[in-house]
Amino acid sequence: MNKKIVILFVLIILVIMFWWIFNLISRDGEFTKTSHVTAGIEHFEKRKAVFLGYNFSWKGIGKPIIEKIEFLKRDGTIVAKDENDFRIQPFIASTERIGVIDEEYVVNEGLDVDLIQVKGYQINKNFYLVLRVEFDGTNPDNDIKILRITYKKYGVTQYQNIPFDGGVIMDGWWSYYG
């Protein structure tokens, strides 16, 4: 009887240790935005889309798979697909050739062939996120504040909020830092 209790106790300890290690490994890592661009409000006056490119890096164990990318405005609401003010489509680019460019130039130069959907994209270390942004509103003050990446790693779905303090719209022509 005593031997069964000891074996059961050891098994329980091993299961708890395995679960704790798995939880630690599956939650390890974070995304970092290493560059930021904004487009001047005048880019959106023609009601045409503008493409903006951002460098990101992943530091951690494993290779996460992106499920979706969402954008939260300064008022806390999530940008919806049928949004009146903002419409944003995220892509992953295989090259870093897009900074702040209007859609016409992207199509004419064939830069759109480098763009792939974010859903299902497996991150290695660094990646280049390109946003196709349409702004039809009149209130640039309610700009994007947070980018939320939802991803899966080792079968565990999780998300990370990344500050977008500069937003995507500014008063000047364009801005880049990173």
Q: What is the pLDDT of residues 134-169, one digit of tens each?
A: 887 666 666 788 999 999 999 999 999 999 877 777
Which of 95, 19, 10, 82 lies closest to 51, judged by CA? 95
Judge whether 170 and 177 are in contact, CB under 8 Å. no
Whether 35 maps to a domain, the answer reads yes
Q: What is the pLDDT of residues 34-65, one digit of tens each?
A: 988 888 877 777 778 889 999 999 999 999 99
Residue 162's CB: how many other CB atoms inside 10 A? 15
pTM: 0.81
Q: What is the pLDDT of residues 76-131, one digit of tens each?
A: 888 876 666 778 899 999 888 888 888 889 899 889 899 999 999 999 899 999 99
Whether 72 maps to a domain, the answer reads yes
Whether 5 maps to a domain, the answer reads no
Average pLDDT over residues 71-76: 85
Whether 156 maps to a domain, the answer reads yes
CA 36 to CA 157: how far, in whole Å?
26
Largest CA-CA distance found in the chain, in angstroms, rounded? 81
Whether 18 maps to a domain, the answer reads no
Judge whether 70 and 150 are in contact, CB under 8 Å. yes
Q: What is the pLDDT of residues 4-21, one digit of tens each?
A: 888 888 889 888 888 888
Number of domains in the chain: 1
pLDDT at 176: 47
Whether 22 maps to a domain, the answer reads no
Whether the per-residue pLDDT at 32 is higher than 90: the answer is yes
Whether 149 maps to a domain, the answer reads yes
Residue 93's CB: how many other CB atoms inside 10 A? 19
Instruction: Report the chain's terminal Cα–Cα distance, integer Å.
Output: 65
The residue behind tokens 């999530």 is: 78
pLDDT at 142: 67
Indicate which CATH number applies to the domain containing 120.
Answer: 2.60.40
Whether 157 maps to a domain, the answer reads yes
Q: Which domain holds residue 75?
A: 31-177
What tokens were used for 91?
């892509």
